[in-house]
Amino acid sequence: MEAELAKAAEEKAKKQQPDKKAKGGKTKLLSKTGTGIVRQWKILKKMVPEEEILHIFDALHWSGYFPPIGVEHVKHFGSDVDWRRSFITTFVNPYYDAFIRWQFSVLRENGKILFGKRNNVYSIVDGQVCADHDRSEGEEVGPQEYVLIKLKVLEPDHGQARHDKMKALLGIYLVPATLRPETMYGQTNCFVLPDGEYGTYYVDATDEVFIMSARSARGLSCQVYKDNEYFTK
């Protein structure tokens, strides 16, 4: 199978080869296809010998395997480092680990260390942050920030009473999203898709109802709002 793929790639490279000889042998296309093709597993084999892969489940083994390689790389950069003062934390080195723990404990007690949060791509399936290398596709895609514009739905003027549960709410809002909130000043109309599907979603943190698409509600449910990890129902 691999031989067939390599042959097909080589034939494709020949078809796309430039006519001019001056540009024929040094294109990026040829470096990625044909005889210049490099498989991912070949790259990985250069990083870690096959005999070392047997230790993949031993975390302590890798704490001693990669640091010396990193030291050599840093030396190649010409960095002036006193490697005699290199230490490893955790239980591998209890003496130095106790020193680091003491430092952080003192800093935290004095209010010098704070905990914060940052925007991430979140996986609803896994229930956790989904980093670049955790995805089968969509690498280098970061979180997209939107601003929701709350447009309050007015009371009906035809005298029809709302349901008791609706009356108790603080408000019902249309919540369109925009990437340019600075353009929202002076807006007089809100248009909806004629064939769009919208739902009503209760926001328990604010005791309000948002009218939006299911996709918007799903994304909004993964946000942190007023110290609640999930706030929509």
Q: How far apart are CA 57 and CA 180, in angstroms?
A: 48
Spatial CA neighbour of 70 closest among 54, 57, 81, 58: 81
116, 122, 126, 115: which is closest to 142 by C-alpha?
Answer: 122
Residue 199 pLDDT > 80: yes
Sort 203 into a burial class: Cβ within 10 Å, 0-12 / 13-18 / 19+.
buried
Q: Is the pLDDT reported for residue 126 higher than 60?
A: yes
- Report the largest interatomic distance among the alpha carbons of the chain, rounded to a whole angstrom: 83
CA distance 154 to 151: 9
Domain extents in the chain = 2-83, 84-115, 121-145, 147-220
Bridge partner list, 151: 174
Token pair 């709350």 in the structure block, residue: 150
- pLDDT tens profile 133-152: 788 787 788 888 888 888 88
Whose CA is closest to 205, among 226, 222, 229, 224?
Answer: 226
Q: What's this model's pTM, rounded to 2 decimal places?
A: 0.51
Partner residues linked to 205 by β-bridges: none
Angstrom distance (rounded) from CA 223 to CA 202: 15
Classify residue 47 as left (phi > 0), alpha (psi -120 to 50) or beta.
alpha
How many whole angstroms separate alpha carbon 46 and alpha carbon 141?
Answer: 28
What does the pLDDT look like over 11-24, one tens digit per residue?
655 555 544 444 44
> Is residue 168 scored above 70 in pLDDT?
no
| Residue 181 neighbours by CB under 8 Å, 6+ apart | 147, 149
pLDDT digits (tens, 9 = 90+) for 82-125: 888 777 888 888 988 999 999 999 999 999 988 777 888 888 88
Least confident of 8-22, 66-80, 118-132: 8-22
